Amino acid sequence: MASTATAHADHQAHVQHHFVSSEQQFDSAKMGMWLFLITEILLFSGMFVAYAVYRVWYPEMFDSAAQELLDPFKGALNTIVLLGSSLTVAMAIRFIQDDEAKKAGWALVVTVLLAGVFMVIKYFEYTHKIHEGILPGVHYSYEGLTTPYVGIFMSIYFVMTGIHGLHVVIGMVILSVIAFRTFRGDFSSEYYTYIELSALYWHLVDIVWIFVFPLIY
């Protein structure tokens, strides 16, 4: 694990001065990203715990609310869209490893577009609910289903999908920047740390959704 002493002369342009080698820098960045992803998973776990607790408390309410209030079709569609985008980021990494920066860039662009599709579908889901008064907590005013405390279910729905959506938007921004830099020629098979890291992040966003979808819908 401990780094080997390498003379300063070996330093390539992208290696910061406090690292001894390119691998050390890449390994560190990757480990840092993994740790960050762990914190993200824990952040979402908090919400899953809240979900589990209330599901145990109010099982019937949860079943009926999921059936009556949510749109599993749109949810499923979104799952497919996100899975597709995960595939395209993975492709971007393959391409850059083969030094095909153009293709890698396009793969990233497609990823961003798919993320956009996801957000559009989400937008339709949200507006429909807001229109019907299917809102969290105190604001819940939908006449169609009045089981007690159903507002809590919607709270969990909105908080979870909302925070997840926020992650999607952040991911879109990051991936766009990375795509731009890829086209500019910043990355190569020698050095593609940022593509790797943003792909890891994107997979996380995807995986969280894979849990959210079957649990909530």
Among 87, 113, 145, 159, binds other proteins (CB under 8 A): 159
Interface with other proteins includes 145 (CB under 8 A)? Answer: no
Among 11, 14, 22, 24, binds other proteins (CB under 8 A): 24
Interface with other proteins includes 216 (CB under 8 A)? Answer: no
| Half-sphere exposure at residue 47, Cβ-oriented, CA atoms within 13 angstroms | 23
In contact, 140 and 148? CB cutoff 8 Å: no
Interface with other proteins includes 148 (CB under 8 A)? Answer: yes
Of 23, 62, 22, 45, residue with least CA distance to 211: 45
End-to-end C-alpha distance for the chain, whole angstroms: 45
150-184 and 59-69 are packed helices; what angle lies between their axes, rounded to 10 degrees?
60
Among 11, 14, 22, 50, binds other proteins (CB under 8 A): 50
**Residues 71-110, mask of contacts with other proteins (x by CB under 8 A):** ----------------------------------------
Instruction: Output the CA–CA distances (angstroms, integers) from residue 142 to 65, 115, 138, 155, in the order listed.
Output: 11, 30, 11, 14
CA distance 117 to 127: 15
Joined together, the tokens standing for residue 96 give: 């850059």
Joined together, the tokens standing for residue 48 give: 């899953």
Among 10, 32, 128, 169, binds other proteins (CB under 8 A): 32
In contact, 202 and 89? CB cutoff 8 Å: yes
Among 11, 14, 22, 54, binds other proteins (CB under 8 A): 54
**Residues 160-199, mask of contacts with other proteins (x by CB under 8 A):** ---x------------------------------------
Smallest separation (angstroms) from other proteins to the CB of 87 = 28
The tokens 């990233």 sit on which residue? Answer: 108
Interface residues toward other proteins, by CB under 8 A:
1-5, 16-20, 24, 27-29, 31-32, 35-36, 38-40, 42-47, 49-50, 53-54, 57-58, 136-139, 148-149, 151-152, 155-156, 158-159, 163
